Each structure stands twice: as structure tokens, then as C-alpha cells.
Amino acid sequence: MPPRIRLVYAATTLAVFLIAGIPLLTELTRPRNIWWTPPSMMVPLAQASDRVEIYARGEPLGSIVSSGRLQVVDPQKTSTVKPGDVALRFNNWDRVRAERMSWLLVDAAVCGMMVTLLLLVATGRLAWRNET
């Protein structure tokens, strides 16, 4: 294979590899705690019933709190927990990961193909036929 054609193939392969590899790299190096609901947007217990149910000794936490049977004991005082005192934060990492998985698999496949092609070009294993 002529050196110019080998250089063109190698440069094109590297460019496609970088285009597919950068999303993979950013996804793998991203911190995992960014998918939690921010503290300022915590969901009250009453509004979170469609996504989560919390039970204590077999009873829903909402009914325990609303009846005044849940208390917080501090060294100085004991106070009853009110329904407005309970809020939830959700970890949405599983949903985000499920949405992104198909694109990440495509990027990984493209990266694998480009590495294989780059190795074939760099070692001169691609056959070159002269035009007649």
C-alpha cells in the first residue's frame, strides 16, 4: 500500500476512533453522585408515593409520621417528627444508564472496529491492488 494512502487511512481511522471514544471516556469518568435529586429539590413524602413506599415495622412511614408516633431523640430534647420534616432524594442513575446504554455500546463497537482497522493499516495487512 502506498504511504500516502496508508496515512490517509490511518488519519481517518484515528479521527473516527476519537469521535466514538470521547463519549465513552466522558461517561466512564463522570462522578456517579450527580444523578441524585439536588437537596433543594427534595420530594416530600406525600408526593413521592408513586415512586417509593417506606415501611417501618410493616406500616407505611407516612401514616406513622402523621399519627405522631415517630420521634427524634437528641441529647438535649426529644421532638416529634412532622410530615413536613420528611423528604426524599432519588438516585436516577439507573434510569440514565438505561437510556445511554445503547449509544455507549455503539460507541464501543465503533472504537473496536477502528482499532482493528488501525492495526491492519499500520502493519500493512490490507491488500492493495494496482489499477489496470
pLDDT average per 10 residues of sequence, the chain (132 residues):
79 89 85 79 84 88 89 89 86 78 87 87 72 52
Q: Does 112 map to a domain?
A: yes
| 108 & 67 share domain | no
- 30 and 59 part of one domain: no
99 exposure class (CB count in 10 Å sphere: 0-12, 13-18, 19+): exposed
Q: What domain range is 106 assigned to?
A: 1-35+101-132
Within a domain: 29: yes
For residue 48, is it within any domain? yes
Q: Are residues 108 and 86 in the same domain?
A: no
Q: Are 51 and 21 in a shared domain? A: no
**Residue 128: what pLDDT?**
65
Q: Are 20 and 107 in contact (CB under 8 A)?
A: yes
72 forms bridges with which residues in the sheet? Answer: 79
Same domain, 45 and 82: yes
- Residue 95 resides in a domain: no
| Same structural domain, 56 and 11 | no
- Outline where 30-92 has alpha helix (H): 61-66
Does any domain span residue 2? yes
Distance CA 50, CA 97 (A): 21
85 with 56, same domain: the answer is yes
- Looking at the fold, whether 55 and 86 belong to one and the same domain comes out as yes
Q: Is residue 96 part of a domain?
A: no
Residues 44 and 84 in one domain: yes
Strands (E), 46-112: 55-56, 59-60, 71-73, 78-80, 87-88
